Amino acid sequence: MTKSEDELTWKDLEIASIVTEPGSASKYKTGDWRSQRPTYKFKKCIKCGLCWIFCPQACIYQDDEGYFVADLYHCYGCGICAKECPTGVITMVEEGE
Amino acid sequence: MAKKAIDVGRDLPPKIRQRHAVYAPRPVTTKENFAQGNRACVGCAEALAVRLVCKALGDNVIIAMATGCMEIVSSQLPYTSWRVPWIHTLFENTAAVASGFEAGLKAMSRKGRTRLENVKAVGMAGDGGTADIGLQALSGALERGHNFLYICFDNEAYMNTGIQRSSATPYGASTTTSPAGKVSIGQLTWKKNMPAIAVAHDIPYVATACPSYPLDLMDKVAKAVATDGPAYIHILSVCPTGWRCPTELSVRIGRLAVETGIFPLYEVENGQYKLNIDLPKLKPVTEYLSLQGRFRHLSDGVINKIQQRVTAEYAKLKEKAASSLVPAGSQKDS
Amino acid sequence: MPSKIGMEVSVAIGEAVRLANADVIAAYPITPQTHIVEHLAELVADGKLDAEFMPVESEHSAMSACLGSAAVGARTFTATAGQGLELMHEVLYIASSMRLPIVMTVVNRALSAPLSVWGDHSDAMAVRDTGWIQIFAENGQEVVDNVLCAFRIAEDRRVLLPVMVHLDGFHLSHMIEPILLPEQGEVDQFLPPNQYPLPLDPNKPVTMGDFGPPAIYTETKWAQEVNLRQAKEVILQVWNEFGDTFGRHYTPVECYRCEDCRVLLLTMGSFSETAMSAIDKMRSEGNDVGLIRLRLWRPFPFDEIRQAVRNAEVLIVLDRALSFGGPGGPVCSEIKSALYQSGRKLKIVGFVGGLGGRDISIAGFEEIINRGIEISEVGSPHEFEIFGVRE
């Protein structure tokens, strides 16, 4: 569905307004909400995956070297990953720094 | 190329392992059936809980969800955050709707009208949608013995509508309809014991969980899915917006709820209680309460009262767990 | 070759649901619907109907369970009455706006207070706006036939809407009437299996019940309105096919001896049968009167109503429900509205009677018609006439 809710006509709607594209909401850029952003000192990273499992937005991914990084498209800067990291890899900094 | 699973808990020092109850590394699927980009508040532990639940549920499920935070943040027309079949209808009928599609699939399967097999019916609702307005439908569905899993995501108030109290709001908490004021300490009644109500229905599986203990939570969901009959899981969901705490503390506060004995993690399998994390010494409740603005107004006297109650309730729970350790071969009174 | 059997209408409804091979029945007992669900429970217990019988804990949960059941594509049935219909009120809107094909027989019962288990149309009138297809039956055979048609209509790909079949409490539900039950083979041919196009299915996940912000809500409602209106075409087709197959033809509006009549009476439900006898009597006495029976209530048959009254000068409408503080009879006010739009000028006199199980005899109908004619000539200070109240 390429039209936004402001553009859809009544004929565009699926029966009963059923949404047939699974996960289509992931286009929404929650990263725009951010007022702080995670920064990394990967030297300390033990690749335990705790940050990944504790991220409420599921925006952390494991890169090719095995380190865990937040995808800034969705990262809304809650800081849980920084708080839970057992080795202090992650520091939250003000957005714009 | 994204990996299919990520090992959680590698190389953790013992103290950290203990802290998270992650005793050995475990591969956890990278599949996100609750998609990124949901509109939950920053730091929402309920969204985290839903995410983890979905990892344990797998794909062969149908979810009925009540009106509430998770429903609103995941299903704005014309989009959806869901990658599994999902239906929202009303606020108080989650268990009835779930029991409806459980029965529908059962009949269709028996009559050879569907190729679907072993689809798990799941109902999800908040504390208001479970303990208050949804209690009747839940009780009915549990009594009828449908093969379904009901999960209550408890953020301890009607958060989606602006932090109004529910029967799951804890004693002394300030909400917009139980505000702390000159002549009131906030919520005047103790939190309704929903797991106990579920246990009273004689169902095969009841458990409490918290996303701060992710593997424990996912194990319980998996167990509930494998249960043939009704299962109930009550998940404490920290809400920084409603509980007035910093967003980065959501996981820590959930942990403190367990470590203080305020929200013990336990299972009840066919009436037998089992504590999942037995803490030899409970942390004082102030460690938990002091981090949250909704308790900011409490006097020492009230905090003491809360402490006494928590200590007493925890002791009762331990007793139930101890008396559930029945020697092999003996009959349990039912 | 099946023959007519005398059976209680409630039991006959159960038989119709059995013939339709429903998959799920979720219901809560309430007088005077109880015999329907009891019979269905018996059929399931004896293995005569292979269905999941869900004895839910309230009518709100009954309709909610039906939502879930219909959403996975199961053939779904329930029944209720009066207070039960009211209790599931909000869920009715969900069933229609989420386009879930559910069939429900409503055994029309008066609404409390005071408590009344007896029949009138107040429960039906309270759910006018819920977006369901609604059919009123006037005798046992009609109920049975329309339950079968209801499944066919509801599940039709062009419709996908829930259907209510209304029948009068006690006056129909508890009467033993001669019923002709079709053969299973004939029903199987008439009623194809339910194939909901977008069910909840892990192989093809869909999301049902998104919330609608202001920017899109109007569009969803208009789509719903268009769909309900267009359902009329399918209803007519199904009724035609039913008639061709089983020999009993149904139409949205039935005219009884009303060609070129000057005075017409309009009734709905079982009163129509008594009214027909009254018409016969009055015509034999030389009166120019006829009867219109309204069968399709929603979607409202504007064309058929306007056509039926085209030659009349006086239309007397009998409502079996009272809308307080307003124009009185809901049916009468809708008829007036339909005819006002068409510019057709005829005198319409509204009566409200038969509330809470109060019967109206043939003599009563004669009185209504005569009083109606009188009012059409001399006028009345009242918005409507209340019939049979002791003053």
Residue C1, pLDDT score: 66
Q: Is residue A39 part of a domain?
A: yes
Residues B254, B255, B261: CA angle, nearest 5 degrees = 95
Of the residues A7, A9, A11, A15, the best mutation for testing chain C's interface (the one with the most C CB atoms within 10 Å of its CB) is: A15
Q: Which residues of chain A does B32 touch, with a Cβ-Cβ cutoff of 8 Å?
A: 23, 58
Show the domain range for A67: 28-94
Question: Shortest CB distance from A22 goes to which of B7, B78, B83?
Answer: B83
Q: Is residue A15 part of a domain?
A: no
Reduced to 3 states (helix: H, G, I; strand: E, B; else coil), residue C181 is coil
Q: Note whether C247 contacts A: Cβ–Cβ < 8 A.
A: no
- Measure CB to CB from residue B80 to each of C56, C64, C210 and give the nearest one: C210
Is A86 among the domain residues? Answer: yes
In a domain, A6, yes or no: no
Q: Is residue A55 part of a domain?
A: yes
Inter-chain residue contact C219 with A13, CB threshold 8 Å: yes
| Burial per residue of A24-45, b for 16 or more beta-carbon CB atoms within 10 angstroms, e otherwise | bbbebebbebbebbbebeeeeb
pLDDT band at C342 (very low <50, low <70, confident <90, very high): confident
Partners of B247 on chain A (C-beta within 8 Å) are: 78-80
Task: Assess contact for C106 and C126: CB atoms under 8 A.
Answer: no
Would you tell me which residues 199-218 of chain B have a C-beta closer than 8 angstroms to some C-beta of chain A? 211, 214
Please name the member of B9, B43, B47 whose beta carbon is closest to the beta carbon of A48.
Answer: B9
What are C319's strand-pairing partners? C352
Which residue has better confidence, B239 or C345?
A: B239
Residue bearing the bigger pLDDT, C386 or A3: C386
Helices (H) and strands (E) in chain C, counts: 13, 16
Alpha carbon distance B85, A1 (integer Å): 18
pLDDT band at C98 (very low <50, low <70, confident <90, very high): very high
Mean pLDDT score, B313-318: 96
The token duo for A82 is 């920084």
| Contact check, Cβ <8 Å, B37/A29 | yes
Cβ of A9 and C219 within 8 Å?
A: yes
Q: Which residues contact B15 (CB under 8 A, 6 or more apart)?
A: none
The CA distance from B16 to B153, in Å, is: 26
Q: Which residues of C touch A12 (CB under 8 A)?
A: 219
Please report the pLDDT score of residue A97 as a whole number: 62
Q: What is the CA radius of gyration of chain A?
A: 18
> What does the pLDDT read at residue C343?
79
Among C158, C201, C207, pick the best mutation site for testing chain A contact (most A Cβ within 10 A).
Answer: C207
Q: How many CB atoms lie within 10 A of CB B117?
A: 8
Beta bridge mates, C264? C290, C315
Residue B1 banded pLDDT, cuts 50, 70, 90: low
CB-CB under 8 Å, A57 with B36:
yes
Q: Model pTM?
A: 0.97
Q: Kindly list the partner chains of chain A, i.e. chains with 3 or more CB atom pairs below 8 Å.
A: B, C
Among B21, B36, B42, which residue's Cα sits nearest to residue B214? B21
Mind telling me how many Å the CA of C235 is from chain B's nearest CA? 26
In whole angstroms, give the CA distance from residue B119 to residue B101.
Answer: 10
The number of beta carbons lying within 10 Å of the beta carbon of residue B189 is 11
Name residue B266's amino acid: Y
Q: Which residues of A touch B5 (CB under 8 A)?
A: none
Predicted local distance difference test score (pLDDT) of residue B9? 95
Cβ(C273)–Cβ(C172) below 8 Å? no
> Is residue C303 less than 8 Å (CB to CB) from chain B?
no
Write down the domain spans for chain C. 5-246, 253-386
Residue C7 pairs with which residues in a beta bridge? C177
* pLDDT tens, position by position, C2-42: 799 999 999 999 999 999 999 999 999 999 999 999 999 99
Angle formed at CA C280 by CA C276 and CA C282, multiple of 5 degrees:
115
How many whole angstroms separate alpha carbon B262 and alpha carbon B304? Answer: 13
- The shortest C-alpha distance from B224 to chain C (Å) reads 19
CATH topology of domain C5-246: Rossmann fold (3.40.50)
Q: Please answer whether residues C377 and C131 qualify as being in contact, where contact means their C-beta atoms are separated by less than 8 angstroms.
A: no
**pLDDT value for C260:** 82
Is the confidence at residue B311, as pLDDT, over 50? Answer: yes
C342 shares contact with chain A (CB less than 8 Å) = no
| Residues of chain C neighbouring B84 (CB-CB closer than 8 A) | 202, 205
pLDDT of residue B334: 39
Which chain A residue's Cα is nearest to C224? A16
Taking an 8 Å cut-off on Cβ atoms, the answer to whether C72 and B105 are in contact is yes
Query: Does the beta carbon of C218 lie under 8 angstroms from any beta carbon of chain B?
Result: no
Domains C5-246 and C253-386 share a fold: yes
Mutate to test the interface with A, among C100, C219, C228 (most CBs of A within 10 A): C219
Half-sphere exposure of C379 (CA within 13 A, CB side): 1
R_g (Cα) of chain B, nearest Å: 20
Residues 6+ apart with CB under 8 A from C280: C257
* pLDDT tens-digit readout, B247-281: 999 999 999 999 999 999 999 999 999 999 988 89
**Residue A23 resides in a domain:** no
Q: What pLDDT is attached to residue A42?
A: 97
Q: Identify all chain A residues contacting C212, using CB atoms and an 8 Å cutoff.
A: 17
- Give pLDDT tens digits for B132-151: 999 999 999 999 999 999 99
Element (H, E) at C19: helix C9-19
State the amino acid at position A39 in one-letter form: T
- Within C128-255, residue ranges assigned H as helices are 140-155, 184-190, 214-246
pLDDT in tens, B29-79: 999 999 999 999 999 999 999 999 999 999 999 999 999 999 999 999 999
Q: Dump pLDDT digits (tens) for B197-239.
A: 999 999 999 999 999 999 999 999 999 999 999 999 999 999 9
Interface of C with B in 25-44 (CB under 8 A): 26
Q: pLDDT tens digit string along C152-184? A: 999 999 999 999 999 999 999 999 999 999 999
Query: Would you place residue B332 in the very low, low, confident or very high pLDDT band (cuts 50, 70, 90)?
Result: very low
As a whole number of angstroms, the distance between CA C249 and CA C238 comes to 10
Q: What percent of chain C has pLDDT over 90?
A: 97
Say whether C210 and A8 touch across the interface (CB within 8 A): no
- Give all domains of chain B, ordered by start, each with its CATH number: 35-323 (3.40.50.970)
**Tell me: the pLDDT tens digits for C105-160?**
999 999 999 999 999 999 999 999 999 999 999 999 999 999 999 999 999 999 99
Q: Does C50 touch chain B (CB under 8 A)?
A: yes
In sequence order, the 6+-apart residues with CB closer than 8 A to the CB of B178 are B165, B169, B184, B186, B187, B188
Give CA B111 to chain center in angstroms: 35
Q: Do B37 and A27 touch (CB under 8 A)?
A: yes
CATH number listed for the domain at residues C253-386: 3.40.50.920
In A, minimum Cα distance to C211 occurs at: A17
C-alpha closest to that of C211 among C71, C98, C131:
C98
Tell me how far apart the alpha carbons of residues C260 and B76 are, in angstroms, rounded to a whole number.
56
Instruction: Measure the CA–CA gap between C234 and C163, rounded to whole angstroms.
Output: 13
Number of domains chain A is built from? 1
Flag whether residue C167 sits within 8 Å of chain B, measured between CB atoms. no
Q: Tell me, what's the pLDDT at C259? A: 83
Residue of C nearest to B110 (CA): C50
Q: Which residues of chain A fall below pLDDT 50?
A: none
- If we measure between CA atoms, which residue out of C39, C68, C304 comes closest to residue C147? C39
Domain of A33, CATH number, reads 3.30.70.20
Please, which residues have CB within 8 angstroms of residue A39's CB and are 6 or more apart in sequence? Answer: A90, A91, A92, A93
Pairwise CB contact (< 8 Å): C24 & B104: yes
Residue for token digits 């919330």?
A: C211
Q: Per-residue pLDDT for B104 more than 70?
A: yes
C62, C94, C200: residue with CB nearest B62 = C200
pLDDT given for residue A6 in this prediction: 86
Residue B333: per-residue pLDDT: 45
C198: nearest CB among A5, A8, A18: A18
Q: Tell me the C-alpha distance between B238 and B245, whole Å.
A: 9
Please state the length of chain A: 97
The C-alpha R_g of chain C, in whole angstroms, comes to: 21
Does some domain include residue A2?
no
* Overall average pLDDT of the C231-258 stretch: 97
How far apart (Å, rounded) are the C-alpha atoms in residues B188 and C319?
A: 52
Show residues of chain B in contact with C202, CB under 8 Å.
59-62, 84-85, 116, 119
Q: From chain A, pick out residues whose CB is under 8 angstroms from the CB of B3.
A: 62
Is B72 in CB contact (< 8 Å) with chain A? no
The tokens for A55 are 């991220």
Query: Sorting pLDDT into bands at 50, 70 and 90, what band is B330?
Result: very low
